[in-house]
Structure 1
Amino acid sequence: MVAKRVKKYLPASDKVSQHKMLRWLGPTLTKPSLWQINRRSIALGLAIGVFWGLLIPLAQIPFAALAAVLLRANLAIAVTSTLVTNPFTFAPVYFLAYQFGDWLLGDQGAEVTEAMLAEQMSQISVTSTGWIDRIGDVAAPLFTGLALFATVGSLLCYLLVSLLWRLAIVLRYRKRQRRFANSLDD
């Protein structure tokens, strides 16, 4: 039942492998293990996508796809779940990651507020030399926070999906048992 609900939202492997931008991957995309809909594959795919989606700001999808292929997780779920950071969530997630990393490292970074961050970003041009120094001020706390968010977030996603999937199976089993017991009573 859970698998049927998930399957209706996923693309077919043959459609993906025939896409003009993905044809070069050939038989890799048609491996059945990348399209399985079971508890392990879906939970692992979600965990991989959330991990890479939170860890790096660019090229999340290729890293998630590669990890899904190597770990035989559901490819579509891994790629889609990288969108946990998108244009709407990017700034708050990275700001919170910086704040948390700064707190973990003992307030070693520069004091940064959202307004200051926005002002600095508007003043930075690619040709100016000061932008590297400004990135260096926030790099350690930011990457510490992102690494922790990515690790904990992916573990929680894996555990939550596994738990909810198992709960759905148990509830379905109990419902079937009650129906069977009721049919014997009649």
Structure 2
Amino acid sequence: MARKLIKKYLPDPAAVKNNRFLKIFGTAMHDPQLWHLTRYSVAHAFSLGIFCAFIPVPFQMVLAAGAAIIIRANLLLSVALVWITNPLTMPVIFGFAYYIGSLFFPESSDSFHFELSYEWLANSLGAIWQPFLLGCLVCGVFFAILGHVAIRIFWRIHVANQWKLRLLKRKNKGANLDG
């Protein structure tokens, strides 16, 4: 089923429970609902993890874990999906978020010229923070909803295919017994 496919790529629950940054949640992480893979907990975890991936702060995993505990989404998926924004993808993702935010602030996109230097960061970040944060919010909400819907559709299709396979196996088994 879909659970087997997802479990294959998830980290070990013991490793997540022993993570030094997630120890702040204490016994709240021992709630069994946080570790089950149901269509609801997985869909909520995807939404949560993708949304937190668009939050431009350090320790996104801690935010995702705290929110997963509150809404009882799958903790492993919520934390793992935050790594969509990693050092390799971060410039592209946050650049896209800035572009989306600048559509709402057209006057800020005229003066934007990126340089990889401390001076640029210290002097220019004040001019772009509004479109950047708005873009992160818009992208986070949009992709969280898209991820939620996609997982629900994927789960439904996967379960329907499994039921069809079961029925086919039963028919074949019955045909073998009759023959």
Which band: TM-score by shorter chain? 0.7 to 0.9
2:63 maps to which residue?
63
2:44 is matched with which residue? Answer: 44
Structure 2: distance between partners of 1:117 and 1:125: 7
Shift of 1:71: 0.4
Provide the residue aligned with 2:110 in structure 1. 111
- Are 2:41 and 2:74, in contact at CA under 8 Å, matched by a contact in 1? yes
In structure 2, the residue matched to 1:163 is 153
Pick closer, same or farther for the CA change 1:95–1:20 going to 2, 3 Å: closer
1:98/1:21 CA distance change after superposition, 3 Å:
closer
Amino acid of the structure 2 residue aligned with 1:181: K
Cα offset for 1:178?
A: 2.1
Cross-structure match for 1:102 = 102
Structure 1: state its 5+ residue gaps.
none
Residue 41 of structure 1: how far off its partner (Å): 1.0
Q: Contact 1:53–1:84 (CA<8 Å) still a contact in 2?
A: yes
Is contact 2:114–2:120 with CA below 8 Å preserved after alignment?
no
Q: 1:15 Cα shift?
A: 5.1
User: 2:165 maps to which residue?
Assistant: 175
Give 1:13 deviation, angstroms: 4.0
Give me the whole-angstrom Cα distance separating, in 2, the residues matched to 1:4 and 1:54: 28
1:122 corresponds to which residue?
Answer: 117
Q: Percent identity?
A: 25
The SS at the match of 2:159 is helix
Q: Give the Cα–Cα distance (whole angstroms) in 1 for the partners of residues 151 and 79 of structure 2.
A: 16
Q: TM-score, normalised by structure 2?
A: 0.85
Secondary structure of 2:108's partner?
coil
Residue 151 of structure 1 is matched in structure 2 by 141
3-state DSSP class of the match of 1:58? coil
TM-score, with length taken from structure 1: 0.83
- Asked if 2 retains the 8 angstrom alpha-carbon contact of 1:49 and 1:64, the reply is yes
Residue identity opposite 1:75 in structure 2: L
Q: Shift of residue 91 of structure 1?
A: 0.8
Deviation at 1:23, TM superposition (A): 5.0
TM-superposed deviation, 1:169 = 0.4
Find the residue that maps to 1:109 and give its secondary structure: helix
> CA RMSD, aligned part only?
2.3
Partner residue, 1:81 = 81
Matched, 1:5 2:5: yes
Gaps of 5+ in 2: none
Contact between 1:17 and 1:25, CA under 8 Å: does it hold in 2?
no
Q: Which amino acid aligns with 1:140?
A: Q
